[in-house]
Structure 1
Amino acid sequence: MEIVNTAFRLFAESGYDLVQMKDIAEACDISKSLLQHYFPKKIVLLSTMLNELMLSAFTYSNEQLTALSAEQRTMIQMSFLLRTLDENPKIEHFIRDVFQSPELTTELVLVTLDWLEAIGVDGETIAIRYAINFSVSGGMAVFFKRKLLQASVEAISENIGHSFYLLLGESTEKINQIYLSTAKYNTDHYYEQFIDYLHSHATINLSLEIKN
């Protein structure tokens, strides 16, 4: 985890492409060969970080939002995740690198798919996977260009959720009801609880990347 935390800091600060394995080894004060014993390739490190971050975020929902429906939890989770990226440039930098890799985008979809099925989102696995790919990939493309497009984070989050459930066959009326029912959670109070939870439960040290 010391290696993962060090590499995460370097990736978040400088970007995945500019950081070499020798840079990570030097920052950890170990040899490159020892680093590659644990992580043969740089993308393995990035994959490990992605999994740790996503699981930490999803664990919050599993432990703190258990009284809510699966649909409500997905809407709230998306809102919190996008707000976290918007308010923390280093984390956005890291996630942008993830979406530039087809391999890691697929992994993000698989981690998300496991979570959605675990919390009881209805639908065939292939349909849920397609809906995630379509809504999240398209939504994140807009998110990364939000200033140019003058799109708000709230609107992007809402549209990702809407498109996801429309692809699963839900009616627009029901989706709107779900979104409205989450309004009280999309506040500073609940968002700050989410950030506090990440700081205290994430296996990756987020103290320098996410404002508390």
Structure 2
Amino acid sequence: MEIVNTAFRLFAEQGYANVQMKDIAIACDISKSLLQHYFPKKIVLLSTMLNELTLSAFIYSNEQLTFLSAHQRTMIQMSFVLRLLDENPTMEHFIQDIFESPELTTELVLVTLDWLEAIGVEGEAAMIRYALNFALSGGMAVFFKRKILRASVGMISENIDQAFYLLLGENAEKIDQIYLSTAKYNTDAYYQEFVSYLHKHATIDLSTEIKI
């Protein structure tokens, strides 16, 4: 994982578009041809990181929030992820690079779809995918411009959740009630536990990108 860790650090610090394969090879002290033997293209490296981080983020919910409903778990997960990005600029830049790639955005949606199905979110797969893609794309576009728009992280998280479940046909009042029920879990203590899980379970070294 040394190559992935090194590339992750470079992407987070300099931006995906500004890092070339030769830069990663030099930082790893290997030849470019050897690097391309394992990772033929730069986007393959980014895809590997994306899958690792996404699956690691879901471990917390899968192990610690199983007593909550699927609705509650998705809302808490979204809240914690956005807070993590807000408090860790290098991670935000990394995720922003993901959303600037249609291919990787689709991959993120597919990985998330598997998780939503596993925790019991109901609906036709095609409709869930549409709702997720719409809610995430619009919500994250606002998130990345939140300072200009003066939008709070909490408001953005709530709007993403509302858009997702409204598109799945849920009643707006019910969504609001469920969102309010997550307040006692959306705390600093639970958030710190989530971050600790990321550090513990991710094979990527997050020590410099995510503060505890």
Q: TM-score normalised by the shorter chain: which range applies? A: over 0.9
Alignment identity in percent?
81
**Alpha-carbon separation, structure 2, partners of 1:124 and 1:8:** 35
Residues 35-184 of structure 1 correspond to what in structure 2 (within 5 A)? 35-184=35-184
Size of the aligned set, in residue pairs, is: 212
Amino acid at match of 2:15: G
Structure 1 spans left out of the alignment, 5+ residues: none
Amino acid at match of 1:116: L
| Residues 118-144 of structure 1, C-alpha deviations (whole Å, 9 max, x = no match) | 111000000000000100000000000
| Residues 44-84 of structure 1, C-alpha deviations (whole Å, 9 max, x = no match) | 00011000000000111101101111110000000000000
Residues 11-26 of structure 1 correspond to what in structure 2 (within 5 A)? 11-26=11-26
**Alpha-carbon separation, structure 2, partners of 1:199 and 1:41:** 27
Moved more, 69-78 or 180-189: 180-189
**Alpha-carbon separation, structure 2, partners of 1:194 and 1:59:** 9
Structure 2 length-normalised TM = 0.99
Q: Which runs of 4+ in 1 moved over 4 A?
A: none
Amino acid at match of 1:92: E
2:205 corresponds to which residue?
205
The answer as to whether partners of 2:59 and 2:197 remain within 8 angstroms in 1 is: no
Moved more, 194-203 or 3-12: 194-203
After superposition, the CA RMSD in angstroms is: 0.6
**Alpha-carbon separation, structure 2, partners of 1:162 and 1:196:** 28
SS at match of 1:113: helix
Structure 2 spans left out of the alignment, 5+ residues: none
SS at match of 1:130: helix
